[in-house]
Amino acid sequence: MDTPRRTILRGLAAAPFIAGAGGLLLPPTATAAARRRLTVRTNAPGSGFLTYRDVIRQLDARAMTPDHRWGIARAPLDVILAGSPQRRGVVERLTWPAGSPPAGETPPLHTVFRWQDDDYGTKDWRPQGITTNYDSLGGSPARTVLLVSWDAHPVRAEKQGTRVSIVDVPAGGAPRYWHVLLVEPEIKHGQPSFKKVELHAGGLAWYRNLLYVAEFHDSAPNGIRVFDLNHLFSVPATKDVFGYNPGDRKYYARRYGYVLPQVARYRDTAGDFRYSQLALERAGDGSVARDSLVVSEYQGPKSSRTPHIARWELAADGGLASLTSRETLDIEGTATGIQGAVGVRGTYYLSMSAGPTGNGHLRTWRPGWGAPKPLWRTPPGPEDLSYDRRGNVLWSLGEYAPGDQPRRKDGKRDPKSVYFTRHVYAMRLPS
């Protein structure tokens, strides 16, 4: 197990994944569903009995060669943040579509920016999950760093994988960011390698050095994947090759310059729970006794199923304290379209989408309240949520670009939805 560097993210430790259990009992007013049970996989594909971390150690050894003959190198997060950005965001006011709500129904905003033009308008990728270095560290980190996931939307025939953006948000000026591909370590051609990860990545939680990513599939077991930010790698962004290339014995990532390797995969084989989003709930910010992962379900507008929230407690080293959820709650009332949920001081905040043609909603809910209560309206397409005590804000983001406009029966795009919502924004919560 590697000793982490002393960086701006000091104190992050490489983590095992199962530790001692403990925490709060269910609130007596909660409507409880069955607790969720996960299984864990750490063996790398094609490797026999080697784990993901075994393969990562082999990649580390190649990354540390002084002549860089393998093309792969260690890329510590603090070094990336100190360097020149790949891209720059644009500081821009958040606008509203026609028929906008009155000012009292819109959130007070702390920070707003949008992506660089090609990311702002791309049809191939959609922003989904968000988490911050406050999630990772707690306290008051001096700078604000976001991680944002992007789903490769099936516009092109070839699936592109899943990417995460590292975003440095300064107190003034434009955000700076870098794209990183998520990868799964494997043994290929007898060599340590990695392959792309295909996830919707609807939610993220950054805890210590670990990045938890929600995994939802329509026809496969759902669960959570875990990636280790102490093992970011840089590779040449020059070839459309993925992983180890026998031709020149170097590593590539389809013209992306950075990769982040997976270290564990949790799966819920029961198949009756959607791991649509996840977020971090810190014990100091809410009513939970231990820092926890909060996983919430998306249900479509025609669904008759009750969505749920499940919570797994986290151990001090960053891993899950148990494979069994501490609690699973029914969200009473009509709660379709949930895109993100996070607990703050005993209240769950829910972002709810109505698609690209209507405003989204931010609602609040507690067990025993019945249906979620409206708080604010948002632009169309709100996604994941992350709470940041610096400023007492909720971070969220929009997913839609013009290519996401629904088509009418005549095949033309719906003119009511010609509206960009691909902003990232922090909403100030009531004191």
CATH label of the domain that carries residue 396: 2.120.10
Provide the CA 280 distance to its chain's centre, in angstroms.
11
Going by C-alpha positions, the residue among 352, 83, 345 that lies closest to residue 234 is 83
Average pLDDT over residues 232-241: 95
Assigned domain for 104 exists: yes
pLDDT of residue 158: 66
Q: Are 349 and 428 in contact (CB under 8 A)?
A: no
Strand positions, DSSP E, 69-221: 73-74, 87-88, 90-91, 109-114, 125-132, 144-152, 162-169, 176-188, 191-196, 204-207, 210-215
pLDDT of residue 134: 96
For 217, residues 6+ apart whose C-beta sits below 8 A from its C-beta are 200
CA distances from 152 to 123, 130, 217, 223, 383 (A): 9, 16, 14, 19, 15
Q: Supply the DSSP symbol for 60.
A: H
Phi/psi for 18 (5° steps) reads -130, 130
Q: How many domains in the chain?
A: 1
pLDDT of residue 333: 78
pLDDT of residue 19: 42
Average pLDDT over residues 323-343: 89
Q: Percent of the chain having pLDDT more than 70?
A: 87
Q: Which range marks the domain in which residue 233 is found?
A: 39-428
Distance CA 84, CA 75 (A): 13
The pTM of the full predicted model, rounded to 2 decimals, is 0.90
Phi/psi for 55 (5° steps) reads -65, -40
Q: Are 113 and 175 in contact (CB under 8 A)?
A: yes
Residue 266 has pLDDT above 80, yes or no: yes
Going by C-alpha positions, the residue among 147, 126, 59, 184 that lies closest to residue 356 is 126
Q: Which two tokens stand for residue 291?
A: 């820092």
Buried b (16+ CB within 10 A) or exposed e, 192-222: bbbbbbbbbbbbbbbbbbbbbbbbbeeeebb
Tokens 């590697």 found at: 2
Which is higher by pLDDT, 369 or 287?
Answer: 369
Assigned domain for 15 exists: no
3-state helix, strand, coil in the chain (%, to 5): 10, 40, 50
Assigned domain for 314 exists: yes
Assigned domain for 419 exists: yes
Average pLDDT over residues 239-244: 94
Confidence of residue 257 (pLDDT cuts 50, 70, 90): very high
122-168: pLDDT as tens digits? 888 999 999 999 999 998 888 999 999 999 977 565 678 999 999 99
Q: Which amino acid is at 26?
A: L
Distance CA 210, CA 208 (A): 6
Residue 334 has pLDDT above 80, yes or no: no
408-418: pLDDT as tens digits? 677 766 655 54
Distance CA 353, CA 340 (A): 10
Distance CA 313, CA 109 (A): 31
CA distances from 69 to 79, 185, 241, 250, 255 (A): 21, 20, 17, 7, 18
Assigned domain for 234 exists: yes
Q: Supply the DSSP symbol for 190.
A: T
Q: Which of 92-106, 169-183, 342-356 has the lowest mean pLDDT?
A: 92-106
59-95: pLDDT as tens digits? 999 999 998 999 999 999 999 999 999 999 999 888 7
Assigned domain for 2 exists: no
Which is higher by pLDDT, 248 or 98?
Answer: 248
Q: Supply the DSSP symbol for 406.
A: P
pLDDT of residue 413: 62
Q: Which amino acid is at 228?
A: D
Helix (H) or strand (E) holding 57: helix 52-63
Assigned domain for 133 exists: yes
pLDDT of residue 1: 37
Q: Are 339 and 202 in contact (CB under 8 A)?
A: yes
Distance CA 207, CA 59 (A): 23
Q: Are 74 and 63 in contact (CB under 8 A)?
A: yes
List beta partners, residue 185. Answer: 194
